[in-house]
Structure 1
């Protein structure tokens, strides 16, 4: 077995051992390893090896890989098993243009539904962004970024929109993590950009809110492309 996969399996087994609901930890653990690059794009994920490392039957492992395929992180091929997705520049463009469409709808619907609680949550996330320094952890930046945007989807009150977002969220997370590793400037731009979004949605101007989210996501896309090795 390739070294990175073997190392990741050791880590996965350590994370999930003695869990009272062992199978429930498999999806988030493998997901996190893919998002952070511990399992690299193109890596094979042998079902039998995963099951052995986790000391469980192959059934729960197979179900976990199917779920990760739904999230766009794993490719399942007949007779070839599971493989970590390798996303191209075209994939990035497709996912970001889809995200832009989803977030336009989210912010339009969120405006009349925003509560003081939603704004307070945004403010908590903004406090975390403001406290980041040059040595921030990429995972911390990723979590803060997604937490802020989650408020907009939650406030939108649109179940199908939320499901559409969940289908691409893990791929977006993988992009963002790699961007934070390659280009360490989140602490310089995140607070100001997200604070502008918060203030505009709090003011209730729908056209201005759509414009600011478009500017933010287009900027995020271009920064990601600039940070990619291809």
Structure 2
């Protein structure tokens, strides 16, 4: 069997949800290549599930944009383009900046300590260097902090809807760097400013951090990126 299809079987429970989560994890961790063609038969065999709940899960992932179903051609893992990256980074910048504007006067010592603990946990995982998926999940958990604290439910749900895409791009970014997670000190300034007193400096850092991340990702993946 193709190594990329070596998925663990789904056990009892809410089968559709478990299938969707298993496929999402496999996509965002880079288990499938962008643009790779999949078939129901392969997936059902690898996951040891029936076609009914599998189709429901595939439909859910297609609605999220992680899978693409093309009539008369088949099912594909989403590919990426330069425009995809630019849209993701620009929207992330706006959403995260808005979250910080809302949360700035809501920060408490307990909330700031929580951010510090998330950062410390991420650093430990990076230092261990043996679990890229966990590092990506913890990087997302660090960035979740501002949305959890902002007090804006629609903003938080919008961010949650984006997370599979952000997770997917984080995975591509780490594979392009050939490393299992971000650099150990990559969030030091972010966390320091988030715990500080200068909102404007925080917002400027966010714009610069996102802009640099976009430029690096496009440069490293340039040979594989169509324009649109």
Structure 1 and Structure 2 fold alike (TM over 0.5): yes
1:172 to 2:166 alignment: yes
| Deviation for aligned residue 1:8 | 4.2
Q: Which residue of 2 aligns with 1:160?
A: 154
Work out whether 1:133 is the aligned partner of 2:127. yes
For 1:75-114, list aligned pairs within 5 A: 75-114=68-107
5+ residue gaps in structure 1? none
State the partner residue of 1:187: 183
Match of 1:142 in 2: 136
- Paired residue secondary structure (1:109): helix
Measured after TM superposition, the shift of residue 88 of structure 1 is 1.2
Q: 1:130-179 deviations in whole A, cap 9, x for unaligned?
A: 33338453223312211110011111122221222223221221111122
Are the equivalent residues in 1 in contact too, given 2:15–2:53 (CA < 8 A)? no
Residue 22 of structure 1 pairs with residue 18 of structure 2: no
Change (3 A) 1:53 1:177: closer
Deviation at 1:55, TM superposition (A): 4.2
Q: Is the 8 A contact 1:138 1:181 kept in 2?
A: no
What is the alpha-carbon root mean square deviation over aligned residues? Answer: 2.4
Matches of 2:212 and 2:52 in 1, distance apart?
A: 42
Report the TM-score when normalising by structure 1.
0.83
Q: Could you report, residue by residue, the CA deviation over 1:47-81 in whole angstroms, capped at 9, with x for unpaired residues? A: 34433444443332122112212322111223434
For the residues of structure 1 that align with 2:58 and 2:110, how far apart are their CA atoms?
36
> Aligned residue pairs: how many?
220
Q: Distance in 2 between matches of 1:60 and 1:115?
A: 44
The TM-score normalised by the length of structure 2 is: 0.83
Partner SS, residue 83 of structure 1 = strand
Paired residues for 1:34-45 under 5 Å: 34-45=27-38
The superposition leaves residues 111-148 of structure 1 with CA deviations (integer Å, 9 ceiling, x where unpaired) of: 12223343222111221243333845322331221111
**Contact 1:41 / 1:85 at 8 angstroms: preserved in 2?**
yes
